[in-house]
């Protein structure tokens, strides 16, 4: 059996590895339009900042290792068409410029998402960068190393924009963040993101909220960024305005897609076309609390979905347990984490919910450096079942959000989690941990 995988990073290579572990005789071919396989894009901001100075450390498994296990990999090869009736794909060799056909028994689409690039004058000027692929990271690191780059403007105040802001401050740049919405990090509720602006200001980042990019200007390279409210000097611009599924090449293939281009799949990663699977940022994902499909592009889910798709292409029938949209971010000296529904999600779904916002210390005052953690819990008003949790603080936040993730995954109530036997010793927590205290505030 020949399995062709399109896209060779998280979902694609998780599937390829799973297939080879399960059946070393399966023929696996991977087409990847970029120049790298199986890397952790999530580590790019820390490579750009110099916290990690070696891009090789981002590679989970090398091409040689994949090839050694019998997986055939083609880099800089873009799949431009899928013809399910003939079980064929058309591939463009990006170096030679030539096109050829290949056939599959099973096909997996794992093409991820592409950055959304605002359509404004000057957007293609040299000095305007993205931070999505390994190539973007290498380019940005090289550009930012120039001492002539002093003023950096980041467009977008989501997770990637803020991680890029931190990286640029780390490199000694003067940094501005321009964000269209009136607040940062939209997957989190305002009570949790509220300390983030102060943290950014404390590190010298200028914030321009509720401002829309209108133009990037300069003679031959970027010099200024214009918005609907001002004009700012810029030696370098980083676009971090979100992503959309990279599925344009599937138009006309008959593969069903959501209005945003995400491929509809079932919980076994099957598309509507026999023998065609999809996983990762190019596809919808089943949400365990919402009990419906949604679009949350994250590395965590891409890896799990990819592995499942790999097994299922070999005949298994494993179902994805569902995402909780669990995510975390470090913004200088703050950590934020979230899992399950936000209040905005609960409102949209018309759930009868309650919320509790609670501050508790990470450990008792009689051990040095106690720091406050703010949690927000979203719960079912009647049963007190936990639906979502978010937290912000200097330390100990994200691992505690993971506790909430396990509880929400298992549909526990706040009362149950509020009595779970968690570890206690003064350097780590109080006898009533911050998690207990937050849960026990749910009345
Ligand atoms: P991708 O990793 O995007 O891989 C898809 C591949 O398909 C790409 O290499 C692309 O070149 C290739 N491709 C596309 N079209 C074609 C085609 N037609 N033919 C051939 N190849 C094609 N997630 C988290 O969970 N936590 C984090 O902290 C986090 N931080 C992040 C930080 C940054 C800077 C970035 C960019 C992402 C971050 N993510 C994070 C998201 C995470 O990286 C993605 O969710 C994950 O990589 C998705 O995996 P994927 O395999 O679906 O897609």
Mean pLDDT of the 353-364 span: 98
Encode pLDDT of 298-331 as tens digits.
Answer: 999 999 999 999 999 999 999 999 999 999 999 9
Q: What is the pLDDT of residues 242-257, one digit of tens each?
A: 999 999 999 999 999 9
Among protein residues, the one whose CA lies closest to atom 53 of ligand 1: 112
Residue reference for tokens 């936000």: 342
Task: Please give the average per-residue pLDDT across 227-240, as a whole number.
Answer: 98
Cβ atoms of 256 and 272 within 8 Å: the answer is: yes
Radius of gyration (C-alpha) of the chain in whole angstroms: 23
Q: Rounded mean pLDDT of the chain?
A: 98
Tokens at residue 326, please?
């669990």
Provide the Cα torsion 132, 133, 136, 142; round to 10°: 120
pLDDT at 268: 98
Specify whether 42 is catalytic: yes
Q: How many Å lie between the centroid of ligand 1 and the Cα of residue 131?
A: 11
Is the CB of 42 inside a 6 Å radius of any atom of ligand 1?
yes
152-192 confidence digits (pLDDT tens): 999 999 999 999 999 999 999 999 999 999 999 999 999 99
Q: What is the pLDDT of residues 84-124, one digit of tens each?
A: 999 999 999 999 999 999 999 999 999 999 999 999 999 99
CB neighbour list of residue 289: distance below 8 Å, 6 or more residues apart: 322, 324, 340, 341, 387, 388, 408
* Alpha-carbon torsion (153, 157, 158, 163), positive or negative: positive
Q: Residue 173 gets which letter from DSSP? A: -
Residue 28, ligand 1, Cβ within 6 A: no
Q: Is 157 in the pocket of ligand 1 (CB under 6 A)?
A: no
CA–centroid distance, residue 396 to ligand 1 (Å): 28
**Ligand 1 centre and the CA of 174: distance in Å?**
28
Ligand 1 in reach of 11 Cβ (< 6 A): yes
Residue 102 CA, distance from chain mean position: 31
Residues 12-44 have pLDDT tens digits of 999 999 999 999 999 999 999 999 999 999 999
């Amino acid at each position: 059996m020949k399995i062709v995988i399109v896209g060779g990073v998280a979902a694609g290579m998780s599937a390829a590895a799973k297939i080879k572990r399960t059946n070393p005789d399966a023929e696996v071919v991977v087409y990847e339009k970029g120049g790298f396989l199986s890397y952790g894009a999530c580590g790019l901001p820390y490579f750009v900042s110099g916290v990690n100075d070696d891009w090789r450390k981002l590679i989970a498994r090398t091409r040689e290792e994949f090839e050694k296990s019998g997986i055939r990999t083609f880099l800089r090869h873009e799949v431009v068409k899928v013809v399910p009736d003939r079980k064929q794909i058309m591939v463009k060799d990006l170096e030679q410029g030539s096109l050829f056909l290949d056939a599959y028994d099973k096909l997996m689409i794992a093409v991820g998402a592409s950055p959304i690039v605002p359509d404004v004058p000057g957007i293609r000027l040299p000095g305007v960068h993205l931070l999505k692929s390994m190539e973007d990271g290498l380019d940005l690191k090289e550009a930012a190393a120039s001492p002539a780059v002093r003023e950096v403007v980041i467009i977008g105040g989501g997770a990637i924009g803020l991680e890029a802001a931190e990286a640029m401050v780390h490199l000694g740049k003067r940094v501005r963040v321009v964000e269209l919405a009136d607040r940062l990090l939209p997957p989190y509720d305002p009570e949790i993101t509220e300390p983030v602006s102060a943290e950014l200001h404390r590190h010298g980042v200028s914030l321009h909220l509720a401002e829309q990019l209108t133009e990037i200007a300069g003679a031959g390279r970027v010099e200024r960024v214009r918005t609907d409210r001002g004009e700012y000097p810029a030696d370098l611009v980083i676009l971090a305005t979100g992503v959309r599924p990279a599925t344009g090449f599937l138009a006309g293939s008959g593969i069903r897609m959501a209005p945003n281009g995400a491929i509809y799949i079932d919980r076994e990663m099957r598309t509507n076309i026999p023998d065609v699977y999809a996983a990762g940022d190019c596809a919808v994902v089943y949400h365990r609390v919402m009990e419906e499909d949604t679009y949350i592009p994250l590395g965590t889910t891409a890896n799990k979905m990819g592995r499942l798709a790999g097994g299922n292409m070999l005949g298994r029938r494993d179902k994805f347990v569902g995402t909780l949209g669990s995510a975390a971010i470090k913004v200088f000296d703050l950590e934020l984490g979230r899992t399950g529904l936000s209040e905005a999600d609960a409102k949209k779904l018309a759930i009868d919910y309650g919320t509790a916002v609670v501050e508790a210390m990470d450990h008792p005052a009689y051990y040095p450096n106690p720091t406050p953690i703010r949690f927000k819990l979203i719960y079912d008003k009647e049963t007190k079942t936990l639906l979502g949790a978010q937290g912000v603080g200097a330390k100990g936040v994200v691992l505690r959000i993971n506790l909430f993730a396990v509880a929400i995954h298992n549909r526990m109530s706040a009362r149950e989690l509020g009595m779970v036997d968690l570890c206690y010793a003064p350097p780590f927590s109080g006898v009533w941990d911050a998690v207990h205290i937050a849960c026990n505030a749910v009345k």
